[in-house]
Structures are given as C-alpha cells and as structure tokens.
Amino acid sequence: MASSTGGGSALTPITVSMELHTHNRRKLLRCLRQRLLDSSRSIHGFVLLQGGEEQNRFCTDHTILFRQESYFAYLFGVKEPGFYGAIDIASGRSILFAPRLPEEYAVWLGKIKPLSHFKEYYMVDMVFYTDEIVRVLHDLCDTPGKPSLFLLYGLNTDSNNYSKPAMLKEMEKFDVDLEVLHPVITECRVHKSDMEIALIQFANDLSSEAHVEVMRSAKVGMKEYQLESIFLHHVYMYGGCRHCSYTCICATGENSAVLHYGHAAAPNDKTLHDGDMALFDMGAEYHFYGSDITCSFPVNGKFSKNQLLVYDAVLKAHDYVIASMRPGVNWVDMHKLAERTILEGLKEVGIIHGDIDDMMDRRLGAVFMPHGLGHLLGIDTHDPGGYPKGLERPKEAGLRSLRTARTLEDGMVITVEPGCYFIDALLLPAMEDADKSKYFNHREISRFRGFGGIRIESNVLVTAGGCRNLTNCPRRPHDIEAVMTGAPWPSSPAA
Ligand code: GLY
Ligand code: MN
Ligand code: MN
C-alpha cells in the first residue's frame, strides 16, 4: 500500500478472475466426493444451488440493490439475480441456469445477454435456462433411476436461520439429500485460497485508507453521518465498492457503547462534541469478499488522559492476541487473553481492584466486553463455520457471545476486535451484584459513565507460521494524532 497524505487513493482495484470460483468448485468436489466415499455412498448426483432473487419495494421503481446469496457467490461468482447453478459430482461439470428474460427487459433494463456470454464470463461448462433444469439434469444423469440432488440446508450458527434449499417445480422427479452438502461447503469456506485472500486484502487496503480519510476529516461540530458518507464515498469512488459488509457504525460520545449503533432507530445522526471518542466500525466489500474494521479515536484529534487509559488497555489486548495467533491456538483462549489484558489495564488505573484470576472466574470481563473477541470473515461478515458439528458453544457470560470457539488453522481469516465499554445496562447491575460489586472502584468508575466505549478491530489471516494482519490503520495513539493533523499514512512508504 503506497503512502497517502489525504484526498484521492494510492490504490488500484485488483482484477478479479472467475478462476477463483472454479477453484472453489474443485475444492467442494474434492471434499464432497471424500465425504460420500467415507459413508460408502456412490459419487453420483448433482449439487444444486439457487441464487438470490431481486426484490422490489412495493413501488416498482425501487429495486433493493441486489447482492448475491453468499453460498451461490462462493461457487459461481454470479452477480445477477434469478440464477441456479449445478455441479455434476461424478464428472465435475458445472452448469449455470439463467432466467429467461422477457422481451421488455431490453427496453427497460438493457440488452438481453445470450447464454454463451454467461458460459464464457463465469467459466462454467454449460448454460441453460432455468425452465430447463429438470430436463437437463435428467439428460445429464448417467445412472438408472431418479437423479440425486444435494441441496443446501443447514443452520447458520450466527443468525440461527436455516439456509433455503433450491426449489424446483418438479422436485418429485429427484432423490433429494438435505444433509450432506451444507457442512461440507461450509467447511470449504472456512479456509481461504490465495485468490480469496487477495480480495479480502484489497477490501482491507481500501477500507483502511477510507478510515484514515475519515479520521482526517473529523471535526467537532460535524454529524456522524457526514463521516459515514466520506467512508462510503472513498470505497465507492476508488474501489467501485457498491456494497459494504454491514451497516456503518459511526458512533461518538456515549453512542460508542452501543454495540450495533447506526441502525434505523439510531442512524449515525449525533453531532460530534469536543471531548468525544469516536468508534467507527466500517468495511467495504469487493467482489463479495468483505472487510470489518473498527477505529477508535478522539474527535478533536487529541487523546485525553481518560481516553488514553482505556485505549491503551484495548490496544494491548489487540496486539497481544495478534502476537499469539498461530495454528493450534484456541480462540476461546484468545478471548480470555484479551479479557485478562483489559482487566489488568483497568486495574492499573484504579477503575477496578482485586485479584484478576478471581475476576476471570466470575466473568467480570463480560461486563466491559460483552461481545466475542472476533469471528470468521469472508463472503459474509460473520462467515459461517464457527461451530461445526460436535463443537459446543461455551455457556459462560461473554464466552457464549463468541461466534466461534474453534482452534485456529492455516488459511482462516478472523477478526480481532477487543473492546471496552461502559454500558449502564451491564455496569449498574454488576456494581450491585453480590459477587462482583467488590471489584469496582465506585468513585473512579462514575467518572466513566457516559464515556462510551473503545473497540479496535483488525482482520487477521492465520498462516502456517503465525498470522498476518491484513488491516493497516494507525493504531498507536501518537500515530492517530499525527494522521489527524495530516501526517502521511502509512508513515513509511515501504509499509
Ligand atoms: N461489524 C460487526 C462486527 O464487528 O462484528
Ligand atoms: Mn466490526
Ligand atoms: Mn467484526
């Protein structure tokens, strides 16, 4: 990433090859065939996925900007709505089914592309219309009896929603399996290929640059949404990113203790006041692959003593975790390391007192950091695969918020996002609680009521020898202060 001093971008969007999705399909085939062999089943049948459908609001002039369903995007990279996709498990042939568009499409929405366009562009073996699926799959089936269909059905352990299996009019003409595909494809998504990493890296480079632009633009008196708009402009203008990974969280002052601030009822509309901390959690998505980055900084450009105390504890937690990450390390242990580091920081400055091990046992950390340390990241912000079959979600306070309890493996991309918040809804009951009250310095902590919170979030790739931080935002307080007065970032051009 070249150094930038503000305005414009030092980045060039990377070229996306559909080879990425060919690679994803090959990986799925390898894993699926193995899974079938392991259960003494024959390697026959089709994977069939249904892509997303475009939706209108009731007014037909307002189409909600379409974003492809994530598993479909993973296998086929198709950006248009209304498609189906199949893979012949025995031969490996890939087949797209495109919607047959009405003639008036050409009047209102542009030229109707021929099937040959999709075959070439998406690098698949065959393309037909969606109204031909049943016939084509029967024609391609080389075994007697009904063709087998492996459909996507399974629980998303984050949203608790079940993925919707492909729907066909004549499903009775197939043998349907709803069990096998979901865990296998989900596990494929957990480990990223070099091409996937390149996209996540670009989304990170662009979003890191946009965060710096936001820091430089922040001024007392502005509205939070004006800074959101600067971020959105930057990633769209210089990366063509029409989608972000999630709704921007642009919280200042006490809003920064509202974990998912920025929703319709709290739409990033507060005025920035002198003395506020800002907590900005924003990430662009580039060709389906996302980033998820949080920067915390003082809106007036200069950390106060109190802000520095809390910020330092969170930064230490962020840095210690990243320094400890490598294959074989368990994520629950990393969460506990972050909690312990934050508690030690709070104890050092006198906000809490007592034995840190006791605090850990009584889960005091969850009062200050109620969310999990981080989550898998990819085509979804909270990428699936955090709890494969057999891995239990922890039950204790704080730990049960973890979106994964896995042991780290080479190729995982995971967010590291420790935070420390002063949330009345958690703090006040804890200060009254018979088990926890003794740990709080009630007078000191009252100085932090209304402070809000601090989160530092980076996206980290686990490598064979350790890990690599894909995010490049100023983190050290003096770097943040320097950048906010216009110093270049990255500070050294070689960085
Ligand atoms: N941006 C939501 C999260 O950090 O998980
Ligand atoms: Mn985030
Ligand atoms: Mn996150």
pLDDT tens for residues 482-493? 999 999 999 875
Token pair of 229, please? Answer: 């708009």
Per the domain annotation, does 479 fall within a domain?
yes
pLDDT of residue 143: 87
Per the domain annotation, does 5 fall within a domain?
no
Between the CA of 245 and the centroid of ligand 3 the distance, in Å, is 10
Pocket-testing residue among 281, 285, 335, ligand 1, by greatest number of atoms within 8 A of Cβ? 281
Let me know whether 330 and 214 are in one domain.
Answer: yes
Let me know whether 182 and 203 are in one domain.
Answer: no
415 Cα nearest atom in ligand 1: 4
Between the CA of 402 and the centroid of ligand 1 the distance, in Å, is 12
Residue predicted with more confidence, 57 or 240: 240
List all residues 6 or more positions away from 94 whose beta carbon is below 8 Å from its beta carbon: 22, 25, 76, 85, 86, 87, 88, 124, 125, 126
Nearest CA-CA partner of 337 in 408, 433, 438 = 408
The ligand with the least distance to the CA atom of 246 is: 1
Which residue, 157, 190, 223, sits at the end of a domain?
Answer: 190
| CATH number of the domain where residue 150 is located | 3.40.350.10
Let me know whether 416 and 276 are in one domain.
Answer: yes
pLDDT of residue 6: 59
Let me know whether 159 and 263 are in one domain.
Answer: no
| CATH number of the domain where residue 437 is located | 3.90.230.10
Per the domain annotation, does 308 fall within a domain?
yes
Per the domain annotation, does 491 fall within a domain?
no
Let me know whether 185 and 201 are in one domain.
Answer: no
Let me know whether 115 and 255 are in one domain.
Answer: no
Per the domain annotation, does 494 fall within a domain?
no
Let me know whether 55 and 131 are in one domain.
Answer: yes
Query: Does the pLDDT of residue 7 top 90, yes or no?
Result: no
Between the CA of 381 and the centroid of ligand 3 the distance, in Å, is 7
Minimal-distance CA residue to ligand 1 atom 3:
292
pLDDT of residue 12: 95
Distance CA 375, CA 384 (A): 9
Mean pLDDT of the chain: 96
Let me know whether 262 and 390 are in one domain.
Answer: yes
pLDDT of residue 493: 56
How many domains are contained in the chain? 2
Per the domain annotation, does 200 fall within a domain?
yes
Let me know whether 199 and 67 are in one domain.
Answer: no
Query: Does the pLDDT of residue 382 top 70, yes or no?
Result: yes
Let me know whether 212 and 150 are in one domain.
Answer: no
List all residues 6 or more positions away from 194 whose beta carbon is below 8 Å from its beta carbon: none
Q: What is the pLDDT of residues 225-252, one digit of tens each?
A: 999 999 999 999 999 999 999 999 999 9
Which residue, 190, 215, 232, sits at the end of a domain?
Answer: 190
Predicted confidence band of residue 495 (pLDDT cuts 50, 70, 90): very low
pLDDT of residue 168: 94
Which runs of E-coded beta strand occur in 54-174?
55-56, 63-64, 84-88, 94-98, 126-129, 148-151
pLDDT of residue 3: 56
281 Cα nearest atom in ligand 1: 1
Task: Name the CA dihedral angle for 23, 24, 29, 35, rounded to a multiple of 10 degrees.
Answer: 140
Q: What is the pLDDT of residues 118-156, one digit of tens each?
A: 999 999 999 999 999 999 999 999 888 999 999 999 999
Q: What is the pLDDT of residues 462-488, one digit of tens each?
A: 999 999 999 999 999 999 999 999 999
pTM above 0.95, yes or no: yes
Let me know whether 203 and 249 are in one domain.
Answer: yes
Between the CA of 294 and the centroid of ligand 1 the distance, in Å, is 8
Per the domain annotation, does 422 fall within a domain?
yes
Q: Does ligand 1 come within 6 angstroms of the Cβ of 281?
A: yes
Predicted confidence band of residue 57 (pLDDT cuts 50, 70, 90): confident
* Mean pLDDT (whole number) for 436-447: 95
pLDDT of residue 5: 56
Query: Does the pLDDT of residue 2 top 60, yes or no?
Result: no
Q: Does ligand 1 come within 6 angstroms of the Cβ of 401?
A: no
Query: Does the pLDDT of residue 416 top 50, yes or no?
Result: yes
Distance CA 391, CA 318 (A): 25
Per the domain annotation, does 10 fall within a domain?
no
Query: Does the pLDDT of residue 79 top 60, yes or no?
Result: yes
Which residue, 190, 223, 250, sits at the end of a domain?
Answer: 190
pLDDT above 90 covers what percent of the chain?
95
Could you tell me the residue range of the domain that residue 118 belongs to? 19-190
Between the CA of 93 and the centroid of ligand 3 the distance, in Å, is 36
Nearest CA-CA partner of 95 in 156, 49, 143 = 49
Predicted confidence band of residue 72 (pLDDT cuts 50, 70, 90): very high
375 Cα nearest atom in ligand 1: 5
* Mean pLDDT (whole number) for 304-315: 97
Q: What is the pLDDT of residues 207-225, one digit of tens each?
A: 999 999 999 999 999 999 9
Let me know whether 346 and 375 are in one domain.
Answer: yes
